[in-house]
Amino acid sequence: MTLLGNLHNNARALDTHTRALETAGHNLQNAKNPNYARQRVHLTNSGSVDSQKGFHSMGVQVGRFEHARSSFLDKQLIREKSATNTLKSQESIYQQLEADLAEFISRSESSSSIHDSSDNQNEKKGLLKSIDDFFNAFRAVAASPLEDAQKTILLERAETLAHHFNLISTRLENLSNDLFDEMKGDLAKANALLDRIEKLNGSIARFEFKSPGHMAADFRDDRQAALEELSELMNFDVRTIPDRHGKIEVYLRDSSGTEITVLDASGKLGDLSLSGDLVQFGSPAISLNLKGGSLDGYAKVNAQAITAFKSKIDSLAHQLVLSMNEAYNPGSLNTNFFDTTGLDAKSIALDTSLSFQSFRTTVGAQPGANDIALDVLALADKNFSTASGDFIDGRFIDYATRISADIGSGLKSVSDRLESQLLLESAVLSNRNAISSVSSNEEVASLLASQQAFGATARVMEVINSCLNVIVNELVRR
């Protein structure tokens, strides 16, 4: 091969080693970027040519560009992130529910009566304490029906109990409103992420169409990061579109399991919207069956916890109003204890005609009689049954305790599942990092090797250049 041919081959080798140096440097720059996947330039022989003087090597070239990503692990991580965020969103709402109930561990398992010891009373908080205090105040009135101080305390306890119901209902309503605000915010994020994925799809296709054999690795990393962020909001599936230069399509499913494509080669096909706690897509709107992500978690906890809990609290308030009025005003001949129009937790209130002066402890007129107070007190230990037409099962205190326990057990169940899910997500992420993450030591070694190869090639070019100078100068002299 001539000197000029060698000069050309070494110039190409310099370009090749420069590409390797740039790639190693790019990897080092992104060593702490969690969304970055390692890139690698694999060098190969450029081949050889046959001449009169034998075979001559054509030097070195970039044989293959590697983008260290596993599509299998990427898709698996998307699924695990979606499952994790379902549980995270549920846990946060259960924690709020528990706080709004203002009770954590409510009542001793050994408690069998409303008349418990002071140690057991200390275990009760919030609504349970209000119920206990209310019936204990009636107990005190039944024991001393002529003492005005006990009547005053009783009416105060009754006001406190009604207020506690009102407060829980208001907090539940506020929590439900906050939850829907969160869902709206997450939906806006999801739409924005789909817009971003659409733009990255276009950037990848343009780059890889104009540069056949080259991969838009950085754009692909950005798209995967956007997909993972989207998976925290909702579950979806992804597939590569054949012959579209790296473009992907994103699809979800409706309640029947039918695929609903939200983004394809042409771009985003519509917007996500919210109807109640149902996520919908497009126009006309199609209801989606989400099975992961925070949007799914919020919808599930609203149906399974908030709505169910509110229904139980309302049933408790309803039963209390009906039973108290029946005991306090037998035959409905006089004033009621509770307002008959307030049959849920939000509206429960004392009857407007009830006062210290109008409060009764007996049906008759005999001073010191306590038959009404005893009838009311008996309600504390009465076992109600929905099978018999009541609104609750069991005693008031037991029913309220079960409500509190259901929230606690729901929170524990979600927290336990979340703990396991986090371990699973961490394992998948660790497996992917083993493939994709940048090793600083490895990249520094690659950088030094490429630098040495570049320096050696440059030295060869200097020698060839020197030889050419000699030839040209000698020819000029002659």
The arithmetic mean of pLDDT across residues 91-116, rounded, is: 60
The DSSP annotation for 67-130 comes to E---HHHHHHHHHHHHHHHHHHHHHHHHHHHHHHHT-SS---TT--SSS--HHHHTT--HHHHH
Which residues make beta-bridge pairs with 346?
none
pLDDT at 146 over 90: no
CA distance 183 to 193: 15
Angle 402-403-404 from CA coordinates, rounded to 5°: 90
Q: In this predicted model, which residue has the larger pLDDT, 448 or 115? A: 448
> What is the CB neighbour count within 10 angstroms for residue 339?
18
3-state secondary structure of 366: coil
3-state secondary structure of 283: coil
User: Look-up: residue for tokens 């001949």?
Assistant: 333
Angle at which helix 371-378 crosses helix 307-328, to 10 degrees, equals 160
- Per the prediction, the chain carries an average pLDDT of 88
Nearest to 135 by CA among 358, 124, 347, 406: 124
Give the whole-number percent of the chain exceeding pLDDT 90.
Answer: 60
The arithmetic mean of pLDDT across residues 210-224, rounded, is: 91
CA distance 101 to 443: 56
The arithmetic mean of pLDDT across residues 213-238, rounded, is: 94
Would you give the DSSP letter of residue 395?
Answer: -
The arithmetic mean of pLDDT across residues 241-259, rounded, is: 93
pLDDT at 333 over 60: yes
> Which amino acid, one-letter code, is at 61?
Q
pLDDT for the residue 58:
76
> Which amino acid, one-letter code, is at 360?
R
pLDDT at 174 over 70: yes
Q: In this predicted model, which residue has the larger pLDDT, 64 or 318? A: 318
pLDDT for the residue 50:
63
CA distance 443 to 196: 31
CA distance 62 to 45: 9
pLDDT for the residue 123:
46
CB 219 within 8 A of CB 201: no
- The two tokens of residue 64 are 């293959």
The pLDDT confidence band at residue 212, using thresholds 50, 70 and 90, is: confident
CA distance 190 to 252: 13
> Which amino acid, one-letter code, is at 260?
I
pLDDT for the residue 113:
40
Q: Per residue in 342-381, pLDDT tens?
A: 999 999 999 999 988 888 888 877 878 899 999 999 999 9
pLDDT for the residue 55:
62
Which contacts (CB < 8 Å, 24+ apart) does range 406-411 have?
406/309, 406/312, 407/94, 407/97, 407/98, 407/101, 407/305, 407/309, 408/98, 408/104, 408/105, 410/94, 410/304, 410/305, 411/91, 411/94, 411/95, 411/97, 411/98
pLDDT for the residue 122:
42
pLDDT at 112 over 50: no
CA distance 454 to 19: 10
CB 82 within 8 A of CB 293: yes
pLDDT for the residue 267:
94
pLDDT for the residue 12:
85
Highest mean pLDDT (candidates 12-21, 90-99, 410-419, 444-453): 410-419
The pLDDT confidence band at residue 110, using thresholds 50, 70 and 90, is: very low
The pLDDT confidence band at residue 106, using thresholds 50, 70 and 90, is: very low
Asked if the bond preceding 34 is cis, omega within 30° of 0, the reply is: no
pLDDT at 474 over 50: yes
CB 274 within 8 A of CB 298: no
pLDDT for the residue 108:
40
pLDDT for the residue 476:
62
The pLDDT confidence band at residue 33, using thresholds 50, 70 and 90, is: very high
User: Look-up: residue for tokens 């946060």?
Assistant: 92
373 burial level (CB within 10 Å; 0-12, 13-18, 19+): buried
**CB-hemisphere CA count at 13 Å for 142?**
15
The arithmetic mean of pLDDT across residues 141-156, rounded, is: 91
CA distance 77 to 71: 10
